[in-house]
Amino acid sequence: MERTLAIIKPDAVARGKIGEIIRRFEKAGLRISALKMVHLDKRQAEEFYHVHRARPFFDSLTTFMASGPVAVLVLEGETAISTLRAIMGATDPARASPGTIRRDLGTSIEQNTVHGSDSPESAAFEVPYFFQGPETFDYVRVDRHKGGDGPSS
């Protein structure tokens, strides 16, 4: 089992898209292990996105990520990291494939609605950045409901 960190970014929270995005996570078969809202301050956003500190968009990105509350989740599945990246779509919503979260809901390359860990190494930093052990949960996901949003329906 693989774990990955997802963030529903301030643009999507402000536009009332938390439910729509979580529905897509669940529909992809990802199991929600942890879930909460936080409002990062600028320093925390800089710490979280430290790998991008030399990029020209770093100041703008971290100001945006601290501009309002975000929803953070730990998602689990056999290929959780690549599954989440696939349903997110490319960084720039205009270049993302039809049907992806960013294509359908993103408004700009910066305000692209979701973050997902891009490797096991990133997930190993990002999951504990937001969640302590007792805040994540193991349970068996059962997809019995026919006609619902489960992957088997």
Residues that bind ligand ATP (CB under 6 A): 52, 57, 61, 91, 109-110, 112, 115-116, 118
In 3D, which of 106, 80, 81 has the Cα closest to residue 91?
A: 106
Residue 14's CB: how many other CB atoms inside 10 A? 12
In 3D, which of 46, 34, 31 has the Cα closest to residue 7?
A: 34
Residue count, binding to Mg ion (CB under 5 A): 1
In the sheet with 70-77, reading across from the earlier edge strand, the strands are 31-38, 70-77, 2-8, 114-116
| CB of 120 or CB of 151, closer to Mg ion | 120
Question: Mind telling me the catalytic residues?
Answer: 115
Q: How far is the CB of 72 from ligand ATP (least distance, A)?
A: 12
For the segment 97-126, give every residue that binds Mg ion (CB under 5 A). Answer: 118
User: Which residue has the closest beta carbon to Mg ion?
Assistant: 118
Judged by the rule CB under 5 A, the positions of this chain that interact with Mg ion are: 118
